[in-house]
């Protein structure tokens, strides 16, 4: 599998540790979208590049890192068709893929250490979408199509439980 990896300056060291782990322990191909030092970089720029590459089918999945993992997730999720999930534990990382078909997992270098991050990445990469929540993912995709087409329907909330 071809995997994008990217980080801002806050996530540079964690990115390098995860990249090395993947290269040494898997058959996956890594494409590094930067940053390539601790020099300041705006995380949206990296997140948009990774999201675009995945959206265009150049890569299958991505890993994005910033200080909290939240900024890169918010930025990546602005890109049409992308589902990015912030994960700091193995269960969330596994469910991001199994239940939500998240193409990108994000992490915060100021939140998670390299050893836990390796486990999170391993959990995320070792599962495939099971389509168990396909109906829900399809609803997300349909709402996104409405926004993109300009046919957004307000007031569609439901009071149904579960």
Question: pTM higher than 0.75 for the full model?
Answer: yes
CA 100 to chain centre: 11
161 among known catalytic residues: no
Name the active-site residue from 35, 38, 66, 162.
66
- Determine the pLDDT at residue 160: 55
CB of 64 closer than 8 Å to CB of 35: no
For the segment 119-138, the average pLDDT, to the nearest whole number, is 86
Tell me which of 150 and 20 has the higher pLDDT.
Answer: 20
As a whole-number percent, the residues of the chain with pLDDT over 70 amount to 93
CA dihedral 147, 140, 52, 120 (to 10 degrees): 150
**Both tokens assigned to 84:** 């990015």
Which helix (H) or strand (E) segment holds residue 65: the answer is strand 61-66
Tens digit of pLDDT for each residue in 21-52?
999 999 999 999 999 999 999 999 999 999 99
């Amino acid at each position: 599998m071809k995997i994008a990896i990217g980080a801002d300056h806050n996530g540079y060291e964690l990115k390098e540790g995860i990249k090395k782990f993947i290269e040494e322990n898997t058959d996956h191909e890594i494409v590094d979208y930067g940053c390539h030092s601790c020099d300041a970089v705006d995380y949206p720029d990296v997140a948009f590049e990774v999201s675009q590459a995945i959206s265009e089918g150049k890569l299958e999945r991505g890993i994005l890192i910033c200080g909290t993992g939240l900024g890169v997730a918010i930025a990546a999720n602005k890109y049409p068709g992308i589902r990015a999930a912030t994960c700091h534990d193995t269960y969330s990382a596994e469910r991001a893929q199994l239940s939500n078909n998240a193409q990108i997992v994000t992490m915060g270098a100021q939140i998670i250490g390299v050893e836990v991050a390796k486990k999170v990445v391993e959990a995320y990469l070792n599962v495939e979408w099971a389509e168990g929540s396909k109906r829900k993912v399809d609803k997300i995709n349909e709402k996104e199509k409405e926004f993109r087409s300009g046919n957004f329907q307000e007031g569609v909330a439901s009071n149904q439980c579960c």
